[in-house]
Amino acid sequence: MSQTDRALTTALAQAAATAGRAPSVHNTQPWRWRVLPDGLELRVVRDRQLTATDPEGRLLVLSCGAALHHARVALAAEGWRAVVERIPHADDPDLLARFTGLTQVGANPEAMHLVQCMRIRHTDRRPVSDEPIADAALDEITEAATADGVRLQLLDRGQVLQLATAASQADTVESEDPQLRAELAYWTGRAGDVGLPAAVLPESPPQTTVPGRDFGRPGTLPVGSGHDQAAGYALLYGDEDEPVDWLRAGEALSAGWLTATRLGVSVVPLSGVVEVPGTRAALRGMLAGVGYPYLVLRMGLADPTHAGPPHTPRLGVDQVVDTSAVRGT
């Protein structure tokens, strides 16, 4: 193997490992990467699909899309350009993406900065501070999350109140369904390397305009007495509602969230309203039927006076990155 080939496979393996930092629904990390001598493949791991909460796999694929964007950025930071094919084979729908045609083009400083943001990005479910987000920052985040049929729409006051109603309806539906409750219980309060540990879950329900997810058990994260009056809410949506659109939505989520992190803006995805078909239809109504909702985002400036939650654990690299095809070559 030549030095360039070795540099390529090292960069591919590192990009796949870095993508492990991506956010995923309930921290399921439903992805597996395969490093090839001249490319990289991303597969969805169906074993970690939330089959009751997310039977169609919308949030499953969206989570993989966030990992895909992380890998794209990590490769660009190392100076590689790739052609990315999304769901390249109709008869192999679990193969979500393939990187081919890799060429060395020189490290991209913007991508290098975003890789640093991957290391600090996390979900902070406490109420945000009273300081509003600057309009310029909101514009930058919205622009970053806009790509290939996906858009981020900031909600006005009236829409936020509609969203609050929908979110509390979704919560009621989900808390009354024993299968959904059991699935949530499986993924929360865990001590392992998937799922949500108690340390990242609020110790009591935070005061928010739009209710956050009720995780069905108190965590140990202190939330304080603040109210997220200054939070902004936005809807990530797009033109179509097929797996390739969910994949692109995940990429847009990652792009918007990493940009938010760079600007000091905290993001919390709210997916309960999308999981319940009735409230998903209500969100679609808010878009006047011209788009399909993928995810709701709460944005705000984190309370600077208290330390936030710790980082949520991740699977070991050997569990998510398969390098057997390049080992020993």
Ligand X SMILES: Cc1cc2nc3c(=O)[nH]c(=O)nc-3n(C[C@H](O)[C@H](O)[C@H](O)COP(=O)(O)O)c2cc1C
Contact footprint for ligand X (CB under 6 A): 23-27, 59, 62-63, 66, 122-123, 125, 196, 212-213, 268-272, 295, 312
Q: Choose between 18 and 312: whose C-beta lies nearer to ligand X.
A: 312
CA-atom Rg of the chain in angstroms: 19
Residue 273 C-beta: closest distance to ligand X, Å: 9
Nearest residue to ligand X, by Cβ distance, number only = 23
Q: Choose between 94 and 124: whose C-beta lies nearer to ligand X.
A: 124
- Across the beta sheet with 232-238, what order do the strands follow? 150-154, 232-238, 292-301, 265-270
Residue 101 C-beta: closest distance to ligand X, Å: 28
Residue 234, H or E segment: strand 232-238
Compute how many other C-beta atoms are within 10 angstroms of the C-beta atom of residue 39.
19
Residue 270: phi and psi, rounded to 5, are -125, 110
Residue 9 C-beta: closest distance to ligand X, Å: 27
Q: Where are the beta strands (DSSP E) in 137-179?
A: 150-154
- Local structure of 135: helix, strand or coil: helix
Q: Choose between 80 and 233: whose C-beta lies nearer to ligand X.
A: 233
Dist. CA 35–CA 15, nearest whole Å: 10
Within 8 A by CB and 6+ apart from 270, the residues are: 167, 210, 212, 213, 295, 296, 297, 298
Dist. CA 252–CA 237, nearest whole Å: 10
Q: Choose between 62 and 145: whose C-beta lies nearer to ligand X.
A: 62
Q: Choose between 243 and 272: whose C-beta lies nearer to ligand X.
A: 272
Residue 309 C-beta: closest distance to ligand X, Å: 7
- Mode of pairing for the β-strands spanning 232-238 and 150-154: antiparallel
C-alpha dihedral sign at 103, 104, 106, 109: positive
Q: Choose between 63 and 323: whose C-beta lies nearer to ligand X.
A: 63
Of 122, 19, 25, which is closest to residue 67 (Cα–Cα)?
Answer: 19
Rounded (5°) CA angle 26-281-301: 50
Q: Choose between 205 and 304: whose C-beta lies nearer to ligand X.
A: 205
Residue 1 C-beta: closest distance to ligand X, Å: 34
Residue 209 C-beta: closest distance to ligand X, Å: 15
C-alpha dihedral sign at 84, 87, 91, 93: positive
Q: Choose between 104 and 220: whose C-beta lies nearer to ligand X.
A: 220
